[in-house]
Amino acid sequence: MILVIPQEFIIRLHNIAEEMLPNEAAVLLFGVVIGNRVIVQSLETVQNVSSNPRTSFRIDPEEEYRHLIEAEERGEALIAIYHSHPAPPRPSFKDLQFMRLNPVIWLIASKVSGDWTSRAYVLKNDEAQVVRVEIVERHDCEERTT
């Protein structure tokens, strides 16, 4: 499995993480799956409604549902959930629990090393496995999916 994401989306995701500081940011990633390629086509920033937004995130189910319906109308599905961490970009214990409920790719950003960096994970046999991320030019991504 490879997460294919346009460069401009990575930049946007990291900008959103910076803007949301000191809270964790949350973004839904929509797109299509072609073979083992999970291709990101659109992003929807959502509110972090956690009662401890600095160290965890929670997405309002109604807001998520609204975006799911809109994505479906565009022929897209929820393929990944992005959030930022005050800690290293590894799934927390709570993340692992939510990964079970939301079996999509989890993209986690952190800037503990200075600049924002993201890592992708998927839950396999109850363990978080790293997913390869391929950063592409926007037009590249569209060519593959149309």
CA 90 to mean position of chain CA atoms = 13
| Strand 2-6, strand 77-85: pairing | unpaired
Tell me: does residue 76 bind Zn ion (CB under 5 A): no
Q: What token pair was written down for 142?
A: 């569209």
- Smallest distance, Å, CB 85 to Zn ion? 5
- Smallest distance, Å, CB 74 to Zn ion? 27
- Smallest distance, Å, CB 143 to Zn ion? 33
For residues 91 and 108, the answer to whether their CB atoms sit within 8 Å is yes
Site pattern 34..73 for Zn ion (x: CB under 5 A): ----------------------------------------
Half-sphere exposure of 115 (CA within 13 A, CB side): 3
Applying CB under 5 A, which residues contact Zn ion? Answer: 92, 95
